[in-house]
């Protein structure tokens, strides 16, 4: 894609890390660190001044990301990263505001905000690291847990349904919807850069392993990584209603891609026009 200058970068990734805070809290083999690296690469290559990038998160393993990224970063309360980001972006449209948070934060406690930010088409970027579980609190089931899974709060098996994130985001009206894994770093970085250019609500689901609690889903750590290599299929034109993920079914593919590109004007763009209208200037 245009603007992608991988390899020509002069600023090292380390320049955007708060190295004084290392070692980080993430477990060895966790996918979140890779997502942070891809985000930083995208920021450095975005062409947008670094000080104009802002990263916002809620609570959970993924939400610790802003704490290690040397940008203006806001680690707010559980589930509320999106409304915080919307408020900030609305009054400061010069900023490129990205939410990085987990499946539980964005889709369970923060589900209502996700729904309405997509409907309003707020001009923010949302990276959802989906590891199918509540990791930080100890392996409880979440809104994307595969039905049937054993978790610390579903000891007899998970009997609820799971969100299919790209399908959900597309139906809600998001302008950009993608799904990648931490094994697809080039594609993920490119998708994040594309997000920055979208005027409107942009969502990337990153299907990511939780090695500590993955085993409870009957998938040992190495099997998850192997599944990301062997079972992923890139299909940008996929029927989103059929791309739900079942990590436990070895025959079911994990479909990846940049699925949705729309150009519905963002709320913030329309709100600027409203100011002219309210002042009688058309």
Partner 1 sequence: MSERISLLAAERAEEWLLKPGVYFMQGNIAAAEAALIAGCRFFAGYPITPSNEIAEHMARRLPQVGGYFIQFEDEIASINAIIGAAYGGVKSMTATSGPGFSLMQEAIGLAAMIEAPIVIIDVQRAGPSTGIPTLVGQGDIMQAKWGSHGDYEIVAYLPNSVQEMFDLTIEAFNTAWEYRVPVVVLSDQTVGHMIEKLRVPPLEEIRIVERRKPEVPPEEYLPFDSRYLVPPMAVAGEGYRFHVTALTHDDRGYPSTRHEVSEKLVTRLVRKIRENEKVIGRYESIMVDDADLVVVAYGITSRSALKAVREARREGLKVGLFRPITAWPFPYWGLREAVDRGASILVVEINMGQMVHVVREYYANITEIHSMPWAPGEVPRPHVILRKIKEVYPR
Report if residue 116 touches partner 1, rule: CB under 8 A.
Answer: yes
Which residue from 44, 60, 113, 245 is in contact with partner 1, where contact means CB under 8 A? Answer: 113
Report if residue 102 touches partner 1, rule: CB under 8 A.
Answer: no
For partner 1, which is the closer residue by CB, 17 or 150?
Answer: 17
Contact string 164-203 vs partner 1 (x = CB under 8 A): ---------------------------------xxx----
Restricting to residues 52-81, which ones interact with partner 1 according to CB under 8 A? 52, 54, 56, 66-67, 70-77, 80
Distance of closest approach, residue 51 Cβ to partner 1, in angstroms = 4
The two three-digit tokens of residue 38, written as one number: 């891809």
Distance of closest approach, residue 224 Cβ to partner 1, in angstroms = 29
Distance of closest approach, residue 140 Cβ to partner 1, in angstroms = 20
8 Å CB contact between 127 and 100: yes
Report if residue 18 touches partner 1, rule: CB under 8 A.
Answer: yes
Distance of closest approach, residue 14 Cβ to partner 1, in angstroms = 14
For partner 1, which is the closer residue by CB, 26 or 141?
Answer: 26
Report if residue 94 touches partner 1, rule: CB under 8 A.
Answer: yes
Compute how many residues bind partner 1; rule: CB under 8 A: 51
Contacts to partner 1 by CB under 8 A:
18, 21, 50-52, 54, 56, 66-67, 70-77, 80, 82-95, 112-113, 115-116, 120, 123, 197-199, 266-267, 269, 271-272, 274-275, 277-279
């Amino acid at each position: 894609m245009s603007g992608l200058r991988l390899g020509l970068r002069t600023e090292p990734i380390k320049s955007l890390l708060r190295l004084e805070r290392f070692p980080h809290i993430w477990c060895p083999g966790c996918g979140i660190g890779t997502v942070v690296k891809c985000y930083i690469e995208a920021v450095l290559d975005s062409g947008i001044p670094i000080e104009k990038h802002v990263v916002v998160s809620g609570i959970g393993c993924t939400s610790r990301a802003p704490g290690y990224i040397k940008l203006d970063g806001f680690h707010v309360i559980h589930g509320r990263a999106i409304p915080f980001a919307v408020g900030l972006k609305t009054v400061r449209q010069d900023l490129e505001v990205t939410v990085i948070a987990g499946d539980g934060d964005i889709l369970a406690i923060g589900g209502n905000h996700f729904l309405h930010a997509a409907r309003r088409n707020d001009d923010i970027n949302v990276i959802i690291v989906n590891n199918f579980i509540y990791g930080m609190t100890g392996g409880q089931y979440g809104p994307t847990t595969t039905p049937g899974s054993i978790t610390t709060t579903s000891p007899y098996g998970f009997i609820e349904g799971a969100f299919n994130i790209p399908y959900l985001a597309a139906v809600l009206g998001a302008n950009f919807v993608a799904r990648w894994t931490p094994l697809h770093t080039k594609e993920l970085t490119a998708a994040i850069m594309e997000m920055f250019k979208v005027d409107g609500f942009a969502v990337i689901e990153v299907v990511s392993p939780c090695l500590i609690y993955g085993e409870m889903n009957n998938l040992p750590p190495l099997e998850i990584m192997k599944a990301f290599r062997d079972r992923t299929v890139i299909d940008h034109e996929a029927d989103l209603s059929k791309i739900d993920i079942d990590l436990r079914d070895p025959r079911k593919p994990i479909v990846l891609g940049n699925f949705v590109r729309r150009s519905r004007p963002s709320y913030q763009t329309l709100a600027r026009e409203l100011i002219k209208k309210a002042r009688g200037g058309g």
